[in-house]
Structure 1
C-alpha cells in the first residue's frame, strides 16, 4: 500500500510564475520505496493568473478561494490532505535534493518526533546562495527550545518554518496556521515546539528565494506596531500551550 506525503503550497498571482521551479524541485525528489507525494496548490483568491502556471500532473490538486493570506490558503488546502505527513513548500521556493526522504526518515524512525526542519540557503536574485550561520545541532530539538531561542533573539527562531514537515494529526490538532497577516508559519512553529519534540536536519532542505515581491520584503511586514502585535499573540499562544498538560504524543 502506498504511503503519501502531502505538499501544501499557498500562491497568489505575483508568485505564480515560480511554480514551475517548485515543481521541478519536487519531481527531482527520490522517495523511499512505497511512498509518493501529492501537491496541494491553493490560490489565495480567485484570479485567472495562477492556473496557467500550475503543471499538468495527476499528483497535483489546484483550488481557489476567498483571499485571506497564506495561512488561510494552506489551511483550506488541508481539506484535501489525505496523507500521513504535511510538508510546507512556498510557491517561490525550491526543495533541495533529498529533502522529502530525510523528512520521512526522521518521522518514521522517531515516533516521538512531531515535526522536522532543515538547513536553508537563501536564493538571491543573482542566483547565488547564502546560508544561516547559527543552525542548531543535528537531531532532536527538545520541546520548548524554539520558544526559548526565539524570545532571546529578538523574535528569530533558530530553525526556519518554511522547511516544516509535520504529522498531519498534530497539525490539525493545533488548528494549522495562525490567522495573522504574516508570521503565521512562525506561530505554527512555536506552537509545535510547545507541545512536541522536533528534528533538525543539517543537510540543506530548501532554497528560500529572495525577491522584491515576497511578503517579507514589503514595508508592512516590518511595521513596528504590527510586528509587535504579531509577536505578542504568537508568544502568548505558545506559552499557553506549553503550560497545558497535553504533549504530543500523549504522555510523552
Structure 2
C-alpha cells in the first residue's frame, strides 16, 4: 500500500488520484486543498507509526529522482542501523548534517525514516504550517544520527516561492524550532555526538574564522556562505564547549563589520537571552516599572513577559495594557497571567487610544523609580534591568539608558550601539522606546505626546535633551527588537506625517527658510525617521552643544533659542489642515479608530 499525502492540491489532481486509487486498490490518499501541509503529513506519519514495516519513505512529488534513488536510500539505512533517517546531503558526517539543520532547516525532497525511532517521537505541532517536517527531523536527530544520501539521486527540484502573506509566519516558525533545538544542542541533549568530533570541528572553525577576519581586514570576503557557516558553527560549538564569552566577542565583532546575517543573529539572540553576564538574583531598593502596551500581538506576549521574569534584577513590576485589540490578544494575556501567577504583573484594558496614550496610562499606573515601555513583540535580556539601574546610580544627570540593540526578523543587525551624541538626538531617533528612564526626569519632561501619527519616541527624546538630560549606552546588547515583515504602522515608509509633526513642535533645530519642495525633499531623503545635515539649524545646535556640560547655563541658552520661535501647542499636519488627520492615518495603518485624547 502506498500512502500519498498532499496539501494545496488542485481539484483536477484530486480527481486523477482518486481514479487511480479506485482502479488499483493500492493507494491510500490523504489530501487537502489547504496550504497547510501539516495535517496531511501528520496523518501519514501516524500510519507509518502503526505500520509493521521498518522504514518509511517520504518524497516530494514535484521532484524528479534517479532510478536508483529508492534502492540506494534503503541500502544506506540497512547498512547503518544506528542512523534514524537519511536525506540527500553533501555533508561528510552526521555532526555536519546536524549543524546544517540547526543553521538552515528545509524540506528535503526525499526522506527515509526508521519507524522504530519514529514511533517514539512526538506528534507534529499543530501550529507549524511550514516547518513541521524539519521539526520532526531535528527531533529525531536528538536521539540518533542522520545519514547522508548521495545528492545525485535527485535529478531536479521545483523552485520554491514564498507567498508574501506567509512570510511572517514562516519566519516565526523557523525561529521557534531552531531556537528550541539550538538550546537542546547547548545542553548536550544530542548525546550520540562524540566529544572528539565537537573538539575537532571547533578547532577547524577557529582557524576558518581567523582567516575570514583577515580577509575582512583586506576589505574582501571570498564567500559569504562560508563566512556564515564558519561563524555560525564556531559560535554554536563554542557555546556548547562553555566558551560563551569567546562566542559573544566573536559575534559582536562580526556584526560590527557585516550585518544582515539571519542565522548569526539567531545564535547571537540565543546567547544573550540564555547566558547572562552576571548571575542573579540581584535585589535593589529601586523598583523598575515595565509597561507593555498590547495591540493584536498576543502570540508574542509570552516571550516579552518571560524576558522580564528572567531578569537577574528582581525588584520590578509589569503593567500590561490591552489597547483595544481586535483579535484574541486580551484573552491570551489573561490566560498567561493566570498561568504565571506572579503578583508583580497586572493587566488593564481600554478602548484603542494609540501607542502614546497607552504608554502614558501605564506610566501613570506604576510607581517605580525607573520606568520603561516594552512592546509586546520585543524582549529584554536577563542583564538589562541590573545594568541600567547600576548606570543610573553612577550619574544623576543620566535621564535614560539606551540599550545596545539586536534587531532580528526581517532585518538583522545591531542598532543604537553608539554613545550619546547631542546632534544625533536631533538628526534621528537616538534610542528605542524601551530605554529605561529615570522617573524624576520623566516628571520634569512630561509623558509621551498622544496627538502624533507615529514616532512618539523620537519627539520624547528631543524634550529630554531640551531639559538638559543626557543618556548612556550599554556596552552589551540588552534589548531585542523584532522587525516584522508586516509591522503595523510602517506602511507609510517615509514617515512624512511624523517628520512634519515633530519638526513643527521643535522648529529651532531645523531650517525654517526652505521652500515646500525642499522641505519635502528633506523628509524624503531617508525612509526612516532621520534627517540630513543640510536640514539642521547648525547655529542653534552649536550654541546648545557649547554650553551642554553646564546644565544651568545650557537651560538658559535653550530658553533663549526657543524665545525666537512661536510656541506650538499642537503639531502641524503633513499636507492637511485637519487636526484630526493623525487619527485618520492611524486608522488606515492599524485598522481601528483611536479614541481622541481630551
Scaled by the length of structure 1, what TM-score is found? 0.78
**Quick one: structure 1 residues 237 and 88, their matched pair in 2 at CA, closer, same or farther if it must change by over 3 Å?**
farther
Q: How far has the Cα of 1:219 moved from its partner? A: 1.7
Matching residue of 1:43: 322
For the structure 1 residues 76 and 8, does the alpha-carbon distance in structure 2 shift closer, same or farther, using more than 3 Å as the test?
Answer: same
Of 365, 374, 377, which residue of structure 2 is paired with 1:89? 374
Query: How far, CA to CA, are the matches of 1:40 and 1:80 in structure 2?
Result: 8
The 1-side partners of 2:286 and 2:352 are apart by 32
Distance (Å, rounded) in 2 between the aligned partners of 1:207 and 1:42: 20
Q: Which of 122, 125, 149 is 2:407 aligned to?
A: 122
Residues 190 and 234, structure 1, Cα contact 8 Å, conserved in 2: no
Give the conservation status (yes or no) of the 8 Å contact 2:428–2:458: no
Structure with greater proportional helix content = 2
Mapped partners of 1:161, 1:193: distance in 2: 15
4+ runs of 1 displaced by more than 6 Å?
A: 237-242
Q: For structure 1, which runs of at least 5 residues remain unmatched after alignment?
A: 246-252
Q: Of residues 127, 133, 149 in structure 1, which corresponds to 2:424?
A: 149
How far apart in 2 are the matches of 1:185 and 1:77?
A: 15
- In the alignment, the residues of structure 2 paired with residue 168 and residue 89 of structure 1 have an alpha-carbon distance, to the nearest angstrom, of 16
Counterpart for residue 173 of structure 1: 444
User: How far is the alpha carbon of 1:212 from its aligned partner?
Assistant: 3.0
Whether the 8 Å CA contact 1:120–1:205 is kept in 2: the answer is yes
Q: How does 1:29-108 map to 2 (within 5 A)?
A: 29-31=311-313, 35-45=314-324, 49-54=328-333, 55-56=336-337, 57-108=342-393
- CA-to-partner distance for each residue in 1:64-121, whole Å, 9 max, x for gaps? 1232211110101122111100022111101023011111001122222221112111
1:187 aligns with 2:459: yes
In the alignment, structure 1 residue 215 sits paired with structure 2 residue 497: no
RMSD in angstroms over aligned alpha carbons? 2.7
Cα deviation per residue 1:113-158 (whole Å; 9 max; x = unaligned)?
Answer: 2211121111115xx84213x7324xxx3xxx34x2244xxx423x
Q: Tell me, in whole angstroms, the C-alpha distance in 2 between the residues paired with 1:11 and 1:67.
A: 10
Q: 1:236 to 1:205 in 2, by over 3 A?
A: farther
TM superposition shift of 1:221? 4.9
- Give the total of aligned pairs: 225
Q: Determine if the alignment matches structure 1 residue 136 to structure 2 residue 418.
A: yes
Taking a change above 3 Å as real, the CA distance of residues 50 and 200 of structure 1, as seen in their structure-2 partners, is same
Give 2:306's aligned residue.
Answer: 24
Distance 1:229 1:87, change over 3 A: same
- Relative to structure 1, is the Cα distance of residues 86 and 237 closer, same or farther in structure 2, using a 3 angstrom cutoff? farther
Q: Secondary structure at the match of 1:8?
A: strand
Structure 1 residues 87 and 237: alpha-carbon distance in aligned structure 2, compared to 1, 3 A threshold: farther
Native 8 Å contact 2:375 2:434 kept in 1: no
2: CA distance between counterparts of 1:204 and 1:80? 29
Give the unaligned 5+ runs of structure 2.
1-283, 510-539, 545-554, 561-598
Structure number with greater Rg is 2
Cα distance, 1:160 vs structure 2: 2.3
Distance 1:79 1:222, change over 3 A: same
Question: Does the CA-based 8 Å contact 1:44-1:65 persist in structure 2?
Answer: yes
Partner-residue secondary structure (3-state), 1:208: strand
Residue 222 of structure 1, CA deviation: 2.7
- Higher RCO, Cα 8 Å, sep 6+: 1
Secondary structure of 1:64's match?
strand
- Matched with 2:501 is 230
Q: Is the 8 A contact 2:372 2:433 kept in 1?
A: no
The change in CA–CA distance for 1:93 and 1:219 in structure 2 (over 3 A counts) is same
Cα drift, residue 46 of structure 1: 6.0
The structure with more strand, counted as a fraction of residues:
1
2:293 to 3, 7, 10: 10
> Which digits, 9 at most, give the CA deviation of each residue in 1:177-235, with x for residues without a partner?
1221210011112211222121111210111001134235x3235353x1431331353
Partners of 1:114 and 1:167 within 8 A in 2: yes
